[in-house]
Structure 1
Amino acid sequence: MLRIFPGIASGFAGPGMASIDQQPAGRPDSGLAYVPVAWLVIVMALSAYGLFSSWRLIGDFSLPDSVFFLIYGGLTGGIVTILWGLYLLGLAFNRSARFPRHYTIWQVVIIVWLVVRQAYLLLAPDFVFSAEALAYTIAEIAIGLLCIYLLRRGTGAEAVYANPETERPPVLVSILAALLGIILGGAIGACAGFFAGSLIADATDMSCFEGACGFFAAFIGLAGLVIGAIAGGISAVWRVNRRKKVPVA
């Protein structure tokens, strides 16, 4: 007669035996560990949009000092955010075990920057209070804190980003590849966008009064520039880091 031992029936597993109530080792609890990567891409896209929208103000020394400092601070922060983010994407694409820690550091820096920027906007005399801007800042900080929470130990993220330390291309190589990808992707995207905008303007018989059709084509070209730069940078980092790597002895 087949006997069922109480230990096994209750889900207890002895040495060398797998528990029937336990999940296989290494399986993540959910796909929430990928949310920080998606938020990283969104933050980089917002930074790229801020760079291109503020570019025309560079060299305009007629602006008040407070506005001038905010613009140049935003440009510097945007560049650092994009370059640092491209490095983090390289880690994420390879599911490196270093990604959660490096992402957490990046996210903490972003949150500190958001707090400092909002405090500057509230204290500087040349700016007025905006409830909408404050709400956006609070939402960004909340999402950032959520992403840090999702990458903490014990959430299954360590099973997703579990690749051990490996011989990787130097950080400088990834940065140079990202810059080249941004330049080439931006140039291709701008040309394609301007060409598409011109075709749309011609196909719709858009009025060229006071250069309306030209402004439309330029706007589409600017959108293509942003999209191409982001796609080119991400693609370049991925191609550099996707090669097979030899584990460090």
Structure 2
Amino acid sequence: MTSSNEQPASGTPAGGMPGGLTPAGRPDSGLSFVPVVWLLFVMAWSVYWLVSARWLFESSGLPDRVFYFVLGGLAFDIVTIVWGLYLLGLALSRSARFPRHFTIWQITTIAWRLAEQVYALTVPDFTVSARELAIAATEIVIGLFCIYLLRRRDEAKAFYARPEAQAPSAFSSIVAALAGIILGAVVGTVAGFALGAGIAEATDISCFEGGCGYFAVFIGLAGLVVGAIGGGVLSVWLVHRRSRKVAIGGR
């Protein structure tokens, strides 16, 4: 008969940790990064809509219900980008706060998408296609799956397990994010426009009706998107990296 000293402790799997958590030394399968990748995609999509929204202010004759609906969506895109950069800082520092804050962000995003679809379906000025409904449904399903990965998988709980004290304040992250977005957007736009102009000249793109100019502007806008996201992510990462160094040095 096996003695009690040889039995695993109550609630502790053999060779595991209390509560079934993944041991700290166990490599992560990669699923813990899925919410971060999804967050980056949503932020990039929001930046794209902000950049391409110039037509909204150049158009005339739009019904007020359509104009303010789109304007509200652009405002939410700005919130998504700033909030997302803060979440990226938490993720990069593997803060224990990331799963909870990501869940709040994702639930808010899902609620907004549902509200958009309900509004578009009930207001006669809109025409909603099956494709748009399918895209919205896919976004919601992916968001719910990301919440499941962070809230239900022990692997993610072990991966994002750094003490909360190591993460900087939300205010510091937001200020760093805004500064990085602005600087990155400026650098990315200038570099993209210069690159586009260089490619247009090297490949002899026709300038008939401004073709070469439109190409350079397109590359410049792409540089703006990449630079804004890259600058925001880099600045938030630097703030969190500095915070970790201070926390380690103060021990």
TM-score range normalised by the length of the shorter chain:
0.7 to 0.9
Superposed CA offset, 1:204-233 (max 9, x none): 211111111111110110011111100000
TM-score (ref. length: structure 2) = 0.87
Q: How does 1:177-196 map to 2 (within 5 A)?
A: 177-196=176-195
Aligned to 1:37: 36
Which deviates more from structure 2 when the two are superposed, residues 108-117 or residues 27-36? 27-36
Which deviates more from structure 2 when the two are superposed, residues 19-28 or residues 85-94? 19-28
Which deviates more from structure 2 when the two are superposed, residues 234-243 or residues 146-155? 146-155
Helix, strand or coil: the match of 2:222? helix
Aligned to 1:227: 226
Aligned to 1:241: 240
User: What is the distance in 2 between the residues matched to 1:147 and 1:226?
Assistant: 24
Q: How does 1:59-78 map to 2 (within 5 A)?
A: 60=59, 62-78=61-77
Superposed CA offset, 1:134-155 (max 9, x none): 1110000000000000011443
Percent identity, aligned pairs only?
A: 55
Superposed CA offset, 1:52-105 (max 9, x none): 111342375531112201221111100000010011111111111111111001
Q: Given that residues 28 and 159 in structure 2 are in contact (C-alpha distance below 8 angstroms), is that contact kept between their aligned partners in structure 1?
A: no
Q: Given that residues 200 and 216 in structure 2 are in contact (C-alpha distance below 8 angstroms), is that contact kept between their aligned partners in structure 1?
A: yes
User: What is the distance in 1 between the residues matched to 2:80 and 2:93?
Assistant: 20
Computed over aligned residues only, the root mean square deviation of the Cα atoms, in angstroms, reads 2.5
Aligned to 2:128: 129
Aligned to 1:91: 90
User: What is the distance in 2 between the residues matched to 1:116 and 1:98?
Assistant: 27
Structure 1 unaligned spans of 5+: none
Q: How does 1:9-158 map to 2 (within 5 A)?
A: 13=7, 22=16, 25-26=23-24, 27=26, 30-58=29-57, 60=59, 62-158=61-157
Post-superposition shift, 1:6? 5.6
AA aligned opposite 2:99: P
Aligned to 1:159: 158
Q: Given that residues 90 and 167 in structure 2 are in contact (C-alpha distance below 8 angstroms), is that contact kept between their aligned partners in structure 1?
A: no
Q: Count matched residues.
A: 240
Residues 168/124 of structure 1: CA separation in 2 closer, same or farther (3 Å cut) = same
Helix, strand or coil: the match of 1:181? helix
Post-superposition shift, 1:29? 6.2
Helix, strand or coil: the match of 1:67? helix
User: What is the distance in 1 between the residues matched to 2:68 and 2:40?
Assistant: 26
TM-score (ref. length: structure 1) = 0.88
Post-superposition shift, 1:176? 1.4
User: What is the distance in 2 between the residues matched to 1:197 and 1:155?
Assistant: 47
User: What is the distance in 2 between the residues matched to 1:185 and 1:6?
Assistant: 64
User: What is the distance in 1 between the residues matched to 2:186 and 2:49?
Assistant: 18
Superposed CA offset, 1:153-206 (max 9, x none): 443111000011215433222111111111111111111111111111111211
Post-superposition shift, 1:246? 2.7
